[in-house]
Amino acid sequence: MSGSRDILPDDEIHRGPPITVGRYGPGKRLNHWITASCLILLALSGLSLFHPSLFFLTGLFGGGQNTRMLHPWIGVVLFLSFFILFAQLWRANLPTRADVQWTSQIGDFIAGHEERLPELGKYNAGQKLIFWGMAFFIIVLIATGLLVWDQYFGETTPIDLRRAAILIHSISAVLILLLFILHVYAAIWTRGTLRAMTRGTVTGGWAWRHHRKWLKELAGRGRIDPAE
């Protein structure tokens, strides 16, 4: 059943008062912030190498040579960090029929009429789109990045392949940056969401409004901390 894959080890209702719901444990939050930090550092270092007018950004990394050396290694850390998260969260991000209905009624979500939307599990269709989009573009970026990593693979990559890899790498970098901006905007726009990645919990009201099916599943499975 789709509901069962929404329940992860850190998910638990805390009686309070006030009632809160565990959403992410310390390990997932640490991975999330490492991934986010790497994306920001890669954006800054990548832009500094992309065009001469942005070369001044290399000063943030100790100069051009350091930037060129650090950029691919930060990419490796991003890849490892994100795919630890991926291994833990991919099942909860599989599409469901409710996602199709949610997407068709996206106007109600934007207008704040979530009572008209189907009850959702741990993630909505928008969150799942960002998750799978991030996974896809990170794979593309690491693959194309390795092809143009001069220190290790420069001599073994044909020039035509290198040119294609640089073009695909650049386009993918722009697209993942747009996804990242969308992710940050959505987290800020939906009040109470950032708390999940800072404290690890959300309020009971937030869970009831945005992910009611997930909350009901937790209650139905007895995922409630013992009364004191």
pLDDT, greater one: 106 or 59: 59
Q: How far apart are CA 59 and CA 223, in angstroms?
A: 50
Tokens of 77: 């850390």
pLDDT, greater one: 217 or 112: 217
3-state helix, strand, coil in the chain (%, to 5): 70, 5, 25
pLDDT, greater one: 115 or 200: 200
pLDDT, greater one: 108 or 172: 172
Whether residue 157 is predicted with pLDDT greater than 90 in this model: the reply is no
User: What's the rounded mean pLDDT across residues 97-122?
Assistant: 88
Residue 2's pLDDT band, with cuts at 50, 70 and 90, is very low
CB 21 within 8 A of CB 14: yes
- Is residue 183 annotated as part of the catalytic site, yes or no? yes
**Structural domain boundaries of the chain?**
26-89+124-188
Statement: 26-89+124-188 belongs to CATH 1.20.140.10: no
pLDDT of residue 74: 97
158 preceded by a cis bond (ω within 30 of 0): no
pLDDT in tens, 132-154: 999 999 999 999 999 999 888 87
* Mean pLDDT computed over every residue of the chain: 91
Q: Which residues contact 75 (CB under 8 A, 6 or more apart)?
A: 38, 42, 141, 142, 145
pLDDT of residue 227: 56
pLDDT of residue 113: 83
72 preceded by a cis bond (ω within 30 of 0): no
Written as one letter, the residue type at 145 is G
Q: How far apart are CA 84 and CA 90, in angstroms?
A: 10
Of 71, 169, 183, 211, the active-site residue reads: 183
pLDDT in tens, 9-68: 899 999 878 999 999 999 999 999 999 999 999 999 999 998 899 999 999 999 999 999
pLDDT of residue 3: 45
pLDDT of residue 138: 97
pLDDT of residue 152: 81
CB 161 within 8 A of CB 148: no
Whether residue 1 is predicted with pLDDT greater than 60 in this model: the reply is no
3-class secondary structure, 106: helix
Residue among 129, 90, 122, 89 at smallest CA distance from 106: 129
Whether residue 114 is predicted with pLDDT greater than 90 in this model: the reply is no
User: What's the rounded mean pLDDT across residues 200-217?
Assistant: 94
Q: How far apart are CA 95 and CA 175, in angstroms?
A: 22
